[in-house]
Amino acid sequence: MLIHDTSLIFGRYVRQTLRSRFQIFFGILMPLLYLFFFGPLLTGLPLGSTGDSWQVLVPGLLLQLALFGASFTGFAIIIEQSTGVVERMRVTPVSRLALLLGRVLRDALLFMFQAVLLVLAALAMGLRAPLPGVLVGFGFVGLLTVSLASLSYALAMKVRTPQEFGPVINSLTMPAMLLSGLMLPMTLGPAWLDVLSHFTPFRYLVDAVRDAYVGSYATAHMLYGVAVALAFALLAVTVGTRVFRRAGA
């Protein structure tokens, strides 16, 4: 029943996404700008990390894509509430968990597709990374998208207006980006900043993907990254499902 309901919701939003090329391709614009204009500045710099500058930057850009893209998906729920879509779904027998999973799985598919385009562009710029490492990176993008999209939808169900939603998301995503080392390894900064960054879960994901991009899979960074990503996804889906049930979405 859950799988059937989830597939129905997933199919609905996939068809909706396919009708909007703007949604498919616009989200990748910012990471591409960083890739084209910021990436060449790092070439030849001592980054204090294993791998070349592209193997440091591209994993960060992949997770940046998920961080900013998935965090703002809640705007869709706000629009659906204002147009009565949520109200119509409320009277159906579809599982509340399926209502959430169908949405977040569509989001994960969308951002993983954009991640593929980003990696292809990076390969043209000079990235060299093993295929298993690239696939591991896509897996982390998917998990992070599921986590953040679930929390974004849950927040949108609570605040209900774009004027409330936008500032909250901005105030959370910017510190997360700065403290996770998306652009540059946090080890390049002062010791206190490096220590502080370990309280941000995204730091562990970034370190894990960077290890994968140099072919290092059996590392402490990978272990911590996988554990944090899975735990974060489980927690986020649980929170999102509870909010959907209480709100009657």
Task: Measure the CA–CA gap between 82 and 213, rounded to whole angstroms.
Answer: 43
Cβ 129 vs Cβ 39: under 8 Å: no
Task: From 90, 81, 134, select the one nearest 112 (Cα to Cα).
Answer: 134
Least trusted range by pLDDT, from 71-80, 89-98, 112-121: 89-98
Q: Are 44 and 131 in contact (CB under 8 A)?
A: no
* 83 compared with 102, residue with greater pLDDT: 102
Rounded average pLDDT over 210-228: 95
Instruction: Specify the range with the lowest mean pLDDT, choosing from 27-31, 102-106, 109-113, 165-169.
Output: 27-31
Q: Of 243 and 146, which is predicted with more confidence?
A: 146
Sequence-distant (6+) residues with CB within 8 A of 28 are 65, 114, 117, 118
Q: Taking the C-alpha atoms of 168, 64, 244 and 169 in order, what is their torsion angle to the nearest 10 degrees?
A: 0
pTM: 0.91
Burial (0-12, 13-18, 19+ Cβ within 10 Å), 32: middle
Provide the mean pLDDT of the chain: 88
On the 0-12 / 13-18 / 19+ scale of CB atoms within 10 A, 237 is: buried
- Band of pLDDT at residue 47, cut at 50, 70 and 90: low
Spatial separation of the C-alpha atoms in residues 87 and 248, rounded to whole Å: 9
Q: Is the pLDDT of residue 75 over 60?
A: yes
For residue 217, what is the DSSP state?
-
pLDDT tens for residues 98-128?
Answer: 888 999 999 999 999 999 999 999 999 989 9
Residue with tokens 């940046």: 64
Looking at residue 138, its amino acid is F
